Amino acid sequence: MRFMVRFTTRDPGSDEVLSLIPTERERVRELQEEGTLEELYLAADRSGGWIVMRGASLEWIEEALASLPLHPYLDLELTAIRE
């Protein structure tokens, strides 16, 4: 199953969020290598973006998203993509 994940970041310029960016990038790279995260698009102002993800189920995708260091700062909206 594929999903489009629209996300917005709460307090995108806060010190807490900025300090997590290096570990966020590493986790994103791991998810890309696994084939779970297919595409990532960030808004120019880094206030949010869109992710295309692939997984066995909605729960699979939610677990992968929960593994992101920035997850506590994200508001997520998931939509299944018809294949």
Using alpha carbons, select from 23, 30, 74, 22 the residue that is nearest to residue 48. Answer: 74
The residue to which tokens 């294949």 are assigned: 83
What is residue 71's DSSP assignment? G
Query: pLDDT digits over 20-59, tens only?
Result: 999 999 999 999 999 999 999 999 988 999 999 999 999 9
* pLDDT attached to residue 5: 98
* pLDDT attached to residue 45: 87
Which whole number is the average pLDDT over 1-17? 94
* pLDDT attached to residue 55: 95
Query: Average per-residue pLDDT in the chain?
Result: 95
Q: Cα–Cα distance between 45 and 16 in angstroms, integer?
A: 17
* pLDDT attached to residue 12: 86
